[in-house]
A and B are shown apart, each in its own frame.
Chain A
Amino acid sequence: MNTEIKEIDGKTVITVAGRLDTVTAPEFDKTVEGQGIANDIVIDCADMEYISSAGLRSFITLLKRAKASGLTLEIINLRPSIRPIFDMTGFSSIFNIG
C-alpha cells in the first residue's frame, strides 16, 4: 500500500495504491492524521486493488473529521471490482463517489 497526499487546485488529494487492509490501514491513518485538514478532500482510488473493513473504517473516520470542519470528502476513480463492497456496506450512500 502506498499513500500520497498532494494539494491540487485548492483540494487535498489523497492517492491510495495497493491493498488497504487490516495490516496497511493503520499506516494510512498515520499518514492522513499527520495532515491538517484545511481543504476539501479527494481520495483517488484508481490504483486501490482491495479494501477491507479496516480500510472502510479509515475512510469513515476521515469523513467524520472533514464534516466536523465543514469540508467535503469525495472518492474518485473507484475500481468496479471494489464498488460492490461500498454498495454492500451502504458506504455508497454515505460517500460522494465520483
Chain B
Amino acid sequence: MKLSARLCLYAAGICLGIFIAIALVMELCSARSESRQAERVTGLIQNGVVDNIVGRIKGVEEDVKRTGRGIMAMGREFTADNSCEMLVNMLRCDSIMKGGCIAVVPGTGMAPGEWMLYVQFKDSTAVATQLGGTDYGYTGQDWFSRPVAEGRPMWSPPYIDYGAGDCLMSTYTLPLFDSDGTCVAVVTADIDLSSLDEEIYALVPYSGAHTFILSESGEVLTACPDSSAETYIEAGIGNLPPGAGRGFRRIERSGTEYLCCYTPVRGVGLTVCSATPLASVMSATSVLKLPLLIILGVGFLALILGLRMMLTRSMRPLARLTEAARKAGDGNFDSALPEVGDNSDLRQLRDAMGYMQESIKQYIWKIEENTRESERMASQLDIARRIQRSMLPAPRAEATMSGATYGISTAAMQQSALEVGGDLYDYLHDGERFYFIIADVSGKGIPAALMMAYIKSLFHFAAQMSLDPAEILSRINESMCENNTSDMFATMLVGCVDLRNETIALANAGHNPAIITMPLQTSGDTNSQGRTSALMLPPGLPAGIISGMAYTLRTMPFGPGCRLFMYTDGLTEAEDSRGIQFGQDRLLLAVSRESGREASPEETVAAITAEVDRYCGSSPGDDITMLCISAHGPHYGSGSDVAADSRADEDTDNREWKNEDMDDSDCRSETLALKYDTAEIPRVTAYLTLVGTMRGWSDAMTMDLQLATEEAIANVTGHSTPKAPGDMIEVTFCHRKCECEVTVTDTGAPFNPVDEAPEVDVSLSAEDRKVGGLGLFLIRNLSETVTYRRDNGKNVLTFRLTDINPV
C-alpha cells in the first residue's frame, strides 16, 4: 500500500473517531437538555392549569363564604325559604357549581329542628329540596360531620353523584358560627369536576401527551384522552404518594418511555399529571440529527479527498527520488537527482542521496585502482613463482661415475604455503662428487624467496670450488651475515656424496635431523631392510646469525642400500584438524616403512606427501620440502634377476626368521635418539602405541613393551651419566608382526644389568622388600631374551618380546 494512501487511512480513522466522540457527547447533552426543557415546559403549563383550577375553586369558596356571611347576617330571621333564594343566587355565580345546600346543626337554636335545604339546577331551573329528619340523616355524613367537628371549611374527596347525572363531584363545606363561636349551620357547594376538563385539555405540552387528574389517594379522576387513563394507573403513575409536591418521573410501558410531570392542586387534594412519550420530546433533536450526519459525512469525505490530494502531491518527489535511487542501484551513478522544491525533509534526503552517490563513485574508483594494483601484483607474484620454480632443479636426479656401478638417485618435493616460499633444495654433480643442500629460510613470502635465491647462488658458487660441506656452510654463513640488514636466517643441511669411495659428508646449520637408513649387514651381503634412525649431527647455529661460525663435518659410509631423507620443519609441524602435529616419530615410522618395502626415493617422497596430506586434510600452513637420496650398488637396478636371487638367498639363510614372518614379511627398524632424561619416556610410549596399532599387537604386548623399554631407559638415566655432554640414548626398535627387539645404547659407565643387577625375592614381605632392582627384574621377566654387551665404549642392552595373543 502506498504511503500516501496509508496516511489518508490513518487520518480518516482518527477523524472518524473524533466525529463519533463529538456526536455521542452532543447526543447525550442534547438529550439531557431536551428532557430538562420538556420538564420545564410541562411544569409551566401545569402551573397555569393548576392556577386556573385553583382560581375557579377559590372563586367557589368565596361565593360560599359570601353566602355564609349573608345567612349569619339574617340571624333569627333565617329560614329555609329565604335561604333558598340565597343558595340560588350563589349557584348562579359560577356554572361549575351544580348544587348547594344549607344544613343546620340540630339543637343550636339558630333555626329550630333538624333540616337541610338542597338546591340543584336542572335544565337551568333551580329545584329546591328540603331534607332532614328521619328520611335523610345528614348529620352522620362525612361532608357535614367532619367540618363541624373540626370547625373549618373542607373539600370532600371527589365522588360520583349518581343522582346528578353520574357526574364526578366534590363538595365544599363551610361551617357557620354564631357570636359565641358555636357552629350553628353549614353551607355547601357541589362542583362538577368534569367541568375542569377544558383546563386539562389545555395541558397538552407535546403531541401524543396524555394528561389527567389524580385524587389524593391516587385514583385517576379525569383523563385526556380518556381511553388511556387506566393504563397509566397500571404503569404506576397512580402510586404517587398522597400530598407529594411537584415531581417528575420516567416510566416505561409497552416499550415506550414516558416523561411524567405532577403538580398538586393545593386545597382540593388533586394532582394534575401529564405523561409525554420521550420520543415526542426528543423529536426536535432527531429532526436535527439527519442534516447533521449528512454535513459530517460530506465534511469527512472532503477531508479525506483533500488529504489524499495533498499527500500525493507531497510524495511525488519521493517517487522521483526512488526512481533515481533505482537507477543508481543499477550502476548509473551519474544520473541527476530530481529537484524537490522547498520540502525540507525531502531536500535533506535528496542531498544525502547525492552525497552517497558521490561517495560510492569514489569507493568504486578506489576499488578499481586497488584491483588493478592487486592484479599487477598477482601477475608479478606469478612470474616470481615461475622464476623460483625454474631455480629449483628437477625433482629427480641420478648420479654415477662413468664406468662405476655405484650411484645415487634422488627425489625431491616442494610445496609453498604462499605463491613463493623460503624453502630450498638443490644439488650439483661434478662427476666425482654429488653436492646437495636443503634449507629453510625464516619467514615466508617474497623476502624469504629472495633470500632463498641468494643462498642457492652461494651454494652453487661454493660447491663449484669443490669445498667440503662444512666449508660451504661457513661461506654461506659469512655472505649472509655480511649484508643481512633484515635479520633473516636459514637452517640448512649441506652434504656431499663422494661417488669414488661411497661416503657421505654432512654439515648442519640448525636444521632438523635427517633420517638415515643403513642396511643390516648379513653374511657380507647387504639387505635393504635396514635400520632407520634420526641422524644426530653435531648441532650448529642457523646461517645468517653470527659470522665466523665453524661448522663440524661428519663423514660416514654411504654404501649401496643406504638412504638419507631430509625435510624442512613444515613437514613434521603439519597439523591435523585437532592441532596435533605430524611429528618426527610418525615421519620416522613412515620413512622406515618405505625403506622396508624398498621404495624408490621418488615413491618414498610421493608416499610421505600423500600421508601428510591425508593427515592434515587440507593444504599445510607452511612450506614443505623433502629431499631423499639413496645409494645403489651392483645389486640395485642392475637387473631384477640379481635382486631376486639375492632375496632368495636370504630366504634360505634365515628360514626360521622368514617363516615366522611369512604373512607380514617386512621387518623394520627405527632408532629414537633420546636425551638422558626421563621426560623423554612419553615420546617412546607414544611411538610404541603407534607401532603397536600399525602392527596389530595386542594391548598386553604394547603395554609390556612400553613397560620393559621404560624400565630400561629409567635404568640408564637413573644409574649412569653420558660420557660426553651431547650424547644421546639410542633406542632401536626392530619390529615385526608378533615380535619386537629393543636395543638400548648409552655411553655411560659399563654396567651389566643381566649379571650385576641385584636379585629380587618376590616372596619377601613388604617390610623386607627392597625398592631397587624391580625395573630390571621386570625387563627379565617380560622379555623372551635379554642380552648385554659392551661395544665400542657403549652399554648395549638388547631384549626381545613376543606377542602371544596378537589381534
Contact = CB atoms under 8 A, between A and B. Distances in A.
B679 A23 contact: yes
Interface in A66-90: 67, 81, 84-85, 88-90
B707 interface: yes
A54 B766 contact: no
Chain A interface size range:
20 to 34
A57 B774 contact: yes
Contacts of A57: 771, 774
Contacts of A84: 700
Contact of B767 (A21, A54, A67): A67
A52, A60, A88: residue with the most chain B Cβ atoms closer than 10 Å: A52
Interface stretch (B29-37, B352-360, B775-783): B775-783
B678 A23 contact: yes
A23 B681 contact: yes
Interface in B757-787: 760-767, 769, 771, 774-775, 777-778, 781-782
B406 to A, nearest CB: 46
Contacts of A2: none
A85 B771 contact: no
A52 B711 contact: yes
Interface in B725-769: 760-767, 769
A54 B714 contact: yes
Contacts of A90: 761-764
Interface in B680-710: 681-682, 685, 699-700, 703, 706-707, 710
A31 interface: no
A20 B777 CA distance: 18
Contacts of A50: 703, 706-707
A70 B88 CA distance: 153
Contacts of B713: 22
A30 to B, nearest CB: 15
Majority DSSP secondary structure for residues of B touching A: helix
Contacts of B679: 23
B711 A94 contact: no
A58 to B, nearest CB: 10
A52 B777 contact: no
A23 B778 CA distance: 17
A52 B766 contact: no
A56 interface: yes
A52 B707 contact: yes
A89 B777 contact: yes
A39 B492 CA distance: 62
A94 B777 CA distance: 17
A68 to B, nearest CB: 9
A82 B171 CA distance: 138
Contact of A22 (B714, B762, B764, B771): B714
Interface string A16-41: 00010111000000000000000000
A53, A56, A89, A93: residue with the most chain B Cβ atoms closer than 10 Å: A53
A52 B712 CA distance: 11
Given A52-B710, A56-B774, A57-B771, A67 B681 contact: no
Interface of A: 19, 21-23, 50, 52-54, 56-57, 60-61, 63-64, 67, 81, 84-85, 88-90, 93-94
Interface of B: 678-679, 681-682, 685, 699-700, 703, 706-707, 710-711, 713-714, 760-767, 769, 771, 774-775, 777-778, 781-782
Minimum-distance CB pairs A-B, first 10: A90-B762, A53-B774, A53-B775, A22-B714, A94-B766, A57-B771, A22-B678, A52-B710, A63-B766, A88-B781
Given A54-B714, A57-B774, A90-B762, 17 more contacts: A21-B685, A21-B710, A23-B679, A50-B706, A52-B710, A53-B778, A60-B771, A64-B766, A81-B703, A85-B778, A88-B778, A88-B782, A89-B778, A90-B761, A90-B764, A94-B765, A94-B766
